[in-house]
Copies of this chain bind each other. A is one copy, B any other.
Amino acid sequence: MRLTALLLLASAPALAQPRPPRTPGDTLKSPVVGENGVVTFQLYAPKATEVSLRTEGPAPFANQKLVRNEQGVWSATDTVPADLYIYWYDVDGVPVADPRNNATRLNLSTVRSLLEVPGAASDFFAERDVPHGQVATVWYRSTVLGMPRRMQIYTPPGYATSGARYPVFYLLHGAGDDDRSWLMAGRANFILDNLIAAGKAKPMIVVMPNGSVSRAPGTRDPYPESFAQEIVPYVERNFRVLPGRDARAIAGLSMGGGHTLAIALPNLDRYAYVGVFSSGFLGPGGADSVAKAYQGAMSDPRINRLKLLWLATGKEDFILPTTKATLAAFDRNHVRYTYKESEGGHTWPNWRAYLYEFAPQLFR
């Protein structure tokens, strides 16, 4: 197989400026995913003295050194269990997204590369041959934050043609991330596609806003206000959502779990399903201190009319004490909840799995 003649014709002399000489780096493939999870990483770096693999979260190839050949191509081959990995190269101390990989994971400050290894364990978030929802990128002006903002909104298969109204699930990201993260690293759209196709989740709208806010020290986080006054009204004005608390869910990971509690607990008449992934009461003074701010909500009998208050954290997650302190505050206030302690840490494999477990429990 080769790319089309048109492609070769149009791309070869595409730049008017003088071209640098051709190198193996122009046509290298990386990563190459072969049979049985054998993956080869390759980087053309003729003058580098040391190239290593780096990952976000655990991976068999983490910190492995690449070996250089005569042409200046560095490579490493490993057998990698099925999953989605976030990786980059360390080239003599410079963190480098794989220049030959156009699958990226961007956050607020940097660019990384994605490696998807297919297999049974990655099937639940893979792009499979099932009906797919659409993801709308929407831009709006936030008056509360005083800046342009963007969010991502998943509509389930059939939304465009059904004319029906759907329940809505607000899904919040963690610190340092943005509205794209639940798609790029979380594969939320494919997880929902696969659950809906299997009849395991109700067709629903999933709203992924941008929760990262820059603000002056000592000032209040304006995000919950922007959420209530701008994000929810935008969604309800532009998408066919079912009204009422029983058709409204909210969950988030890490900082987004803190946001979830800050948004949902003072609004028990508005949210019936609440998920807190790898999080708890976050903020200065620790969970016990923050819990005091929510004393009113925790003493409100409506809290036990939530259809679901679901928390999950990994056994190796640094935030586990915060989660436990939050659960203890719930216990002191006789708040009913469901808690799952998974393997692993503060990483995307857990958050993808939590979403896969949480979404089927919604709108039942």
Contact = CB atoms under 8 A, between A and B. Distances in A.
Nearest to A58: B17
A14 to B, nearest CB: 5
A177 to B, nearest CB: 9
Contacts of A15: 56-57, 345-347
Given A111-B102, A160-B239, A92 B45 contact: yes
A200 to B, nearest CB: 19
A113 B106 CA distance: 12
Given A161-B238, A346-B15, A175 B95 contact: no
Contacts of A332: none
A70 interface: no
Contacts of A3: 175-176, 212-214
Given A48-B92, A221-B4, A132 B127 contact: no
A5 B109 CA distance: 17
Interface string A45-88: 11111000011111000100000000010000000000000001
A357 interface: no
Given A47-B93, A94-B48, A135-B137, A11 B175 contact: yes
A47 B92 contact: yes
A10 B134 contact: no
Given A2-B214, A216-B2, A221-B6, A93 B72 contact: yes
Nearest to A103: B106
A7 B255 contact: yes
Interface stretch (A267-275, A299-307, A315-323): A315-323
Contacts of A316: 16
A346 B16 contact: yes
Contacts of A23: 93
Nearest to A1: B214
A296 interface: no
B107 A111 contact: no
A94 B96 contact: yes
A109 B98 CA distance: 10
Contact of A255 (B10, B111, B132): B10
A171 B260 CA distance: 40
Contact of A45 (B88, B94, B99, B139): B94
User: Which among A10, A279, A282 has the greatest number of chain B C-beta atoms within 10 A?
Assistant: A10
Contacts of A239: 160
A324 interface: no
By Cβ-Cβ distance, the 4 closest A-B pairs, closest first, are A16-B345, A47-B92, A132-B139, A7-B175
19 contacts: A1-B214, A1-B216, A2-B215, A3-B175, A5-B283, A11-B174, A15-B56, A25-B95, A44-B94, A47-B49, A96-B97, A101-B111, A102-B111, A129-B148, A132-B138, A134-B136, A134-B238, A135-B137, A160-B238
